[in-house]
A and B are shown apart, each in its own frame.
Chain A
Amino acid sequence: MIDDRLRTLRRLRYANAFGFILAVAALSPMAVRGQYLHPKVIAKQTTIRKIVILPAKVNVVRDSMKGPEGMAEESEALSVRVEKMLAEVLAAQKSVMTLSESTTTQADSQQKYMIADIQAKFDGLLPKVMKKRKDVKQGRFSMGDEVLNLNLDKSADAIVFIRGEGKKLTGGKTAFTMLVGGMPAYLKLMIGIVDARTGELLLYTDPILAGDPTTAVNRLREALEKGFKKLPAVS
């Protein structure tokens, strides 16, 4: 009787360890999900020369045995790092501008609200995109011509929206996850490139990296470089 229970226990431990290895493998740095392009981009009807990057919103939490704890400061720093890194990667193929460089109007509260509202609009669209990523290829998603209210530089072709989420595990929680199973530490980004004139979603990609999000970001560059290879370069 006792032997049976011990055997069951051992079997469960093996199953958990196997599950954990699978999860890590699935979240390995090279596990960049597919990039989904709008048919207009594939057909080269839309050419992206100049890109404006909106402020990234990356939120990470520290998961301990006593539940998740906020990492507000780290999240802010990570948002800036991701934004800069993406700008560097895209700069290899396109002309890249930050929002402050590209707006023609002063940053008053009206403009601040407008940016907040456009960002909120992307947040509203994102769950629908994530549910059916493949539909980007059919040109199903659009934010409408309201994006023109951002009053960006007239030569801007596309706007980049960056969202991210991640989880850092404490030592105790890491050990617990290894023994019992559960989601390991990770960083997931959701990046959308939107037509600056029509609001159509031109590209969507969501790379995932395993490990502490604050350090995993160092491996992000490679993933992003690989990720944006599909985006037609401008000669």
Chain B
Amino acid sequence: MKAEGNPVAIAPGTDLMALDYNVVLNEILVMRAGQATTGPIRAHMKTFSKRNLLVATLCLCVGFGPLMPPAIAQKKKVAPVEATPPPVNEEFQFGKIDLELLEQVNLVDRRFEREGIVLEDEATNAYLERIGKVLIPKGLKLEHVTWRFRAARDPQPNAFALPNGSIYVTTGLLALLDNESQLAAILAHELTHVMRRHTYLQNRSNRKKFLTANIIAAVGAYTPGGVAGAMITIVTTVAPFLVLATMFGYSRELEREADLKGIDMMISAEYPPEEMVRALQLLTNDIEGEQIKLFYNDHPELQERIKYLGSYLGARADKVTPEMELHREKNAYLQKAEPVMRHDIQLAINATRFRSAVFLALKLVYFHPDSSENVFWLAESYRLLGPRSQQLTEKELTNSAKKDAARKREKRTVEEEERELLATPAGQENAKAHQQKADELYRRALSLDNPTPLAHRGLGMLYEKLGRKLDALTEYHKYIELAPVAIDRERIQKRIEALTKE
């Protein structure tokens, strides 16, 4: 097995110094990208220009680090290991408010099931459960917690834990990850939120903040005139926002605790801990241009989390075991995730996340190029991408551009967006190129073993849009013939009727 190309990759059997080397290299890459680093070599880098000798030493360390014998290397730990709290919050006592919250989340769980949010796929949910149960410390019993691990049908990459022990990983996140260890990292993080009772603690904290916000509002309403009054008025205008802004997700401290504790749990369950960093790096890929920075947000940013996790891992410098390497296997994971990924591409298309759909379909085709279904999904994604560009430009990924795009999304319908784009030369070019790609891929899907009838439906829709009515009719008829009990049979029949009338 080979470690995937990544600045923090650890080869099998790597010694402890090699891990330091990887951390160093990662930080150098971060600095090259023009970002600040808080890692273990920060102190050295500060005096970089002053001391040439240090440069030479650093180069030697980087160059010969992996060659050092393990015994020497083990002494080169870069920083003391940060102490993490025990897995369970023993001091926590249930109060009335906590029990009320518990009652609410139990109902939320049921609602998720009833409303089709839970993915009813036994294999996927059993896979999640197996990984989750491996991570939970043996013999651990928690009051009011029943562990349940399930996939949620949502194309947005996300995961969340309810305090009753229900952990949900969205199909969007399952499709984005590259191996089982990354999934374990996500689950370990969420498990910590439950075990350390973070939701209850956050709820208590929020309630205090709300009370503060109300008091501030009351003070503001009866402000006296003059300078003091103006000051209170400003605080009243700004403070509730600041108070409320800290309520997005957990506080920085709790998130950090879940990250670091998650690393400990991964190591205990023999999962390579640096995969948590890689999972976070995958999340920084802003395919849809929706990661908008707010004025103030207490949730630690992904880059910040990547940095402190890098430092923590460097300080711990754990050995990589063969079992850990096994858990890094990409193909084994993708084999399990393949059906979920296909399901997620459909969800991404429904949610007009066409760029994500193309990204995931390309990943699927790269993994399993001979699958007719995978090739169909790539064709479908390109067809629906239409006049949009496949990737956002640097300009489109600036914060202000993302805010503008979000505002437009709120107002415009998909059809209006397409019409606007088709009025531009770039949009016309994109539409033509994507239609061509879709046509080729649908045909390829039909030429492979076990061809999916869905490719005929796709071709029908593509030709209908292009005004090739007869070709569209032929493809629709083929689809109905090959998939007589398809859920969308009625829809295609209606299209055939309409085209025949014309």
Docked Cα-Cα span, A110 to B489, in Å, equals 14
Docked Cα-Cα span, A179 to B222, in Å, equals 10
User: Which residues 88-107 of A have a CB within 8 angstroms of B?
Assistant: 105
Docked Cα-Cα span, A127 to B412, in Å, equals 10
Contact of A128 among B153, B211, B412 (CB under 8 A): B412
> Does B46 sit within 8 A of A, measured CB to CB?
no
> Does B99 sit within 8 A of A, measured CB to CB?
no
Contact of A4 among B208, B225, B487 (CB under 8 A): B225
> Does A85 sit within 8 A of B, measured CB to CB?
no
User: Which residues 128-159 of A have a CB within 8 angstroms of B?
Assistant: 128, 131-132, 140-142, 145-146, 148-149, 151
A69 adjacent to B351 (CB under 8 Å): no
Residues of B within 8 A of A121 (CB): 350
A131 adjacent to B214 (CB under 8 Å): no
Docked Cα-Cα span, A124 to B154, in Å, equals 13
A113 adjacent to B495 (CB under 8 Å): no
B107 adjacent to A5 (CB under 8 Å): no
Residues of B within 8 A of A119 (CB): 115
> Does A112 sit within 8 A of B, measured CB to CB?
yes
In the complex formed, the residue of B with least CB distance to A6 is B224
Residues of B within 8 A of A127 (CB): 410
Contact flags B333-365 to A (C-beta < 8 A → 1, else 0): 000000000000001001110000000000000
User: Which residues 404-457 of B have a CB within 8 angstroms of A?
Assistant: 410-413, 415
B111 adjacent to A131 (CB under 8 Å): no
A145 adjacent to B491 (CB under 8 Å): yes
Docked Cα-Cα span, A54 to B96, in Å, equals 36
Interface bin, chain A: 35 or more
In the complex formed, the residue of B with least CB distance to A13 is B222
Residues of A within 8 A of B218 (CB): 176, 179-180
B116 adjacent to A112 (CB under 8 Å): yes
In the complex formed, the residue of A with least CB distance to B154 is A120
B490 adjacent to A148 (CB under 8 Å): yes
Residues of B within 8 A of A67 (CB): 206-207, 209-211
A146 adjacent to B214 (CB under 8 Å): no
Docked Cα-Cα span, A146 to B492, in Å, equals 10
> Does B84 sit within 8 A of A, measured CB to CB?
no
B107 adjacent to A73 (CB under 8 Å): yes
In the complex formed, the residue of B with least CB distance to A5 is B224
Given known contacts A120-B350, A127-B410, A145-B495, A180 and B116 CB-to-CB distance under 8 angstroms: no
> Does B221 sit within 8 A of A, measured CB to CB?
yes
A-B contact count (CB 8 A): 99
> Does A70 sit within 8 A of B, measured CB to CB?
yes
Distance of B231 from chain A, by nearest CB (Å): 15
Distance of A112 from chain B, by nearest CB (Å): 4
Given known contacts A116-B153, A148-B488, A151-B487, A76 and B111 CB-to-CB distance under 8 angstroms: yes
In the complex formed, the residue of B with least CB distance to A111 is B487
Docked Cα-Cα span, A54 to B95, in Å, equals 39
> Does A114 sit within 8 A of B, measured CB to CB?
yes
Q: Counting chain A CB atoms within 10 Å of each CB, which of B120, B208, B209, B352 scores highest?
A: B120
Distance of B330 from chain A, by nearest CB (Å): 28
Distance of B304 from chain A, by nearest CB (Å): 27
Contact flags A177-201 to B (C-beta < 8 A → 1, else 0): 0011110000000000000010000
B115 adjacent to A116 (CB under 8 Å): yes
Q: Counting chain A CB atoms within 10 Å of each CB, which of B211, B224, B352 scores highest?
A: B224
Contact of A117 among B217, B350, B490 (CB under 8 A): B350
Given known contacts A76-B107, A120-B351, A180-B217, A141 and B413 CB-to-CB distance under 8 angstroms: yes
Distance of B348 from chain A, by nearest CB (Å): 12
B494 adjacent to A197 (CB under 8 Å): yes
Contact of B221 among A114, A131, A151, A180 (CB under 8 A): A180
A70 adjacent to B104 (CB under 8 Å): yes
> Does A115 sit within 8 A of B, measured CB to CB?
yes
In the complex formed, the residue of A with least CB distance to B120 is A109
A151 adjacent to B111 (CB under 8 Å): no
Contact of B494 among A115, A141, A145 (CB under 8 A): A145
Docked Cα-Cα span, A13 to B101, in Å, equals 36
Residues of B within 8 A of A115 (CB): 116
Contact of B487 among A73, A105, A181 (CB under 8 A): A105
Docked Cα-Cα span, A12 to B225, in Å, equals 12
Docked Cα-Cα span, A149 to B488, in Å, equals 5
> Does B36 sit within 8 A of A, measured CB to CB?
no
Docked Cα-Cα span, A24 to B52, in Å, equals 74
A149 adjacent to B224 (CB under 8 Å): no
In the complex formed, the residue of A with least CB distance to B215 is A65
Residues of B within 8 A of A114 (CB): 487
Docked Cα-Cα span, A9 to B221, in Å, equals 8
> Does B108 sit within 8 A of A, measured CB to CB?
yes
> Does B100 sit within 8 A of A, measured CB to CB?
yes
> Does B81 sit within 8 A of A, measured CB to CB?
no
B153 adjacent to A66 (CB under 8 Å): no
> Does A16 sit within 8 A of B, measured CB to CB?
yes
Given known contacts A121-B350, A145-B494, A176-B214, A72 and B117 CB-to-CB distance under 8 angstroms: no
In the complex formed, the residue of B with least CB distance to A197 is B494
In the complex formed, the residue of B with least CB distance to A132 is B411
In the complex formed, the residue of A with least CB distance to B117 is A116
Distance of A50 from chain B, by nearest CB (Å): 16
Residues of B within 8 A of A132 (CB): 411
> Does A80 sit within 8 A of B, measured CB to CB?
no
Distance of B240 from chain A, by nearest CB (Å): 11
Docked Cα-Cα span, A162 to B452, in Å, equals 37
A181 adjacent to B491 (CB under 8 Å): no
Residues of B within 8 A of A70 (CB): 101, 104, 108
Given known contacts A4-B225, A76-B111, A180-B221, A149 and B207 CB-to-CB distance under 8 angstroms: no
Q: Can you name 24 A-B residue pairings with CB atoms under 8 Å?
A: A5-B224, A5-B225, A12-B221, A66-B208, A67-B207, A67-B209, A69-B100, A70-B108, A72-B104, A105-B487, A116-B117, A117-B116, A124-B351, A127-B410, A128-B410, A131-B411, A132-B411, A142-B413, A148-B490, A148-B494, A151-B490, A176-B218, A179-B218, A181-B221
- Given A125-B413, A180-B218, 6 further pairs, Cβ under 8 A: A67-B207, A67-B211, A76-B111, A109-B120, A176-B218, A180-B221
Counting from the closest, the 3 A-B pairs by CB-CB distance are: A116-B116, A67-B210, A72-B107
B contacts, CB < 8 Å to A: 100-101, 103-104, 107-108, 111, 115-117, 120, 153, 206-211, 214, 217-218, 221-225, 347, 350-352, 410-413, 415, 487-488, 490-491, 494-495
A contacts, CB < 8 Å to B: 4-5, 8-9, 12-13, 16, 57, 65-67, 69-70, 72-73, 76, 105, 109-117, 119-121, 124-125, 127-128, 131-132, 140-142, 145-146, 148-149, 151, 176, 179-182, 197
